[in-house]
Amino acid sequence: MKNKTYNKKKIFVVFICASVIILGLVGRLVYLMVFDAEYYQEKAESLHERERDIKAARGEIVDAGGTVLATNKTVCTISVVHSQLKDPEGVIAALCAELDMDEDTVRKKVEKVSSMERIKTNVEKATGDRIRELELDGVKVDEDFKRYYPYNELASKVLGFTGGDNQGIIGLEVKYEEYLKGINGKILTTTDARGVELEGVAEDRMEPVPGNTLQVSLDYNIQMYAQQMAEKVMEEKQADKVSILLMNPQNGEIIAMVNVPEFNLNDPFTLNTKEDTDAMSAEEKQDALNQMWRNGCINDTYEPGSTFKIITASACLEEGVVSLNDNFSCPGYRVVEDRKIRCHKVGGHGSETFVQGIQNSCNPVFIDIGLRLGVDKFYEYFNQFGLMGMTGVDLPGEAGTIMHKKSNVGMVELATMAFGQSFQITPMQMATTVSSLVNGGTRVTPHFGVKVLDSKGKEVETFKYKKEKNIVSKETSETMQMLLESVVSEGSGKNAYVEGYHIGGKTATSQTLPRSANKYISSFIGFAPADDPQVLGMCVIYNPQGVYYGGTIAAPVIRDVFENILPYLGIEKE
């Protein structure tokens, strides 16, 4: 009797346990089939779907007038699906012939056991179409986009270029990547358990979203002409390189930026020099490419020389330590402490007013007013004018000012800084600061980006840029306009004169370090019209041979540029 009761209890416990297990399994099954069905359905589909990307068309870059500077070219990507190959030898032979590839390379890719193996990218569309027409089992031809620059070398160091994945590498291409890149689409193909596509089952497509169009302030015609002028003077003077920068001093829009020698944007990994790349190591070649891609206007610093006298004069006028009728004497040098600092005119300029001093670009005059200003005030204005920081230009890699630590500056250092030596800034910083000093006293942010447009041309975003009011008074700015016009009409900048226009400007000739190398940088910065500047131009010539004075070789370049672009910009002769 006892055993019978014991067995009943035992059976009951087993029944309860089995029931609990069965209920748990049923509950789990209900959960999976009802509440988690979508997740497992996606997992199941993924096992039977092959995914291929459809690259989005990258947004175009257009100039101020709508001329396309960067666009896309349709190319193809050729791939093979190993599980679908029926005639591997035929595929290898066909791809070798059409793609001009060696057999070993193609064979390794075709025979590799993988879901999909890419054979070649950036294949011309005509070639891709021919391969598609062969109807080779297991061969996929997908259309793709390759960046294309219609004008090859034009503004190469400004526009920049993209890599194999169509992502920006330098210049505006990388700076505005988020607007230009677009969103890739996908092709989803259904396959069986072996990975073979099922016939009669349509492909699912997620269409790509193209990138937006970037409109910039560059003007194609002005950029082209400025580049021609830069190439001409570089050849004539056998210079290492030449930069020309043109901008609107009222709002900071850059209308041209040239850095010759430029490089071919459609072939950016081929050096634009005659160097033998085969003899270079990989590191040496990369260094050479980096140098070729450098934008000298923003990436490189230099001693500005006498163009900096615009800044010294503005600070001294603003502080009231000099007036236009102050008299000076130039014997051809000035002794500061134990140092004899020479003027460019060996015999000196003799007696002269401050106005004549700036017309003559006389170093002793600027030494005198720089010492009157003093170290503390010099640094205060240097900072006030924005020279201690970056300009904020919308290009990557902007270099900063190289300046003495204030505590290390004595009278000799101050004297040389007053006429633009013993420190370094970028040409972009120089042009921006002078723009600010002659436009009424407003510090502007130099820039290229104007607005973003969608694929239908509708405005998506307009860029806003910072302005700092009154870095100098309007009176000081107007005085500088008058002084710098007199430099061109009566002084050292006379080679920049354009008949019918009031041109203001300043020349410079500075020596590079080490001084013993006898290498020079010649430059000129000018603006027009002098009493209401609408365009500012700067030319910098690095290591010219023969005559190297800025007033002789750089000023005529800006004169020729202004002579052609002022009427084009609607600025009429008086």
Enumerate the active-site residues: 306
Place of tokens 């505590």: 407
Residues 6+ apart with CB under 8 A from 457: 213
Enter the tokens of residue 186. 């996908």
Residue 362 burial (C-beta neighbours within 10 Å; 0-12, 13-18, 19+): buried
**Run of H or E residues at 23:** helix 2-30
Cα gap 422→417, rounded to integer Å: 6
Enter the tokens of residue 316. 């001294």
Q: Give the 3-state secondary structure of residue 215.
A: strand
Residue 160 burial (C-beta neighbours within 10 Å; 0-12, 13-18, 19+): buried
Residues 6+ apart with CB under 8 A from 173: 61, 70, 147, 159, 160, 161, 162, 180
CA distances from 258 to 148, 229, 245, 254, 483 (A): 20, 10, 6, 11, 28
**CA quadruple 340, 344, 347, 352: dihedral positive or negative?**
negative
Q: Name 508's bridge partners.
A: 523
Q: Are 534 and 248 in contact (CB under 8 A)?
A: yes
CA distances from 204 to 39, 56, 331, 418 (A): 19, 17, 85, 70
Residue 217 one-letter amino acid? S
Residues 6+ apart with CB under 8 A from 9: none
According to DSSP, residue 191 is labeled B
Cα gap 163→110, rounded to integer Å: 25
Residue 462 burial (C-beta neighbours within 10 Å; 0-12, 13-18, 19+): exposed
Q: Are 384 and 471 in contact (CB under 8 A)?
A: yes
Closest listed residue to residue 179, CA positions, set 56, 69, 65, 76? 56
Q: Are 352 and 360 in contact (CB under 8 A)?
A: yes
Q: Give the 3-state secondary structure of residue 407.
A: helix
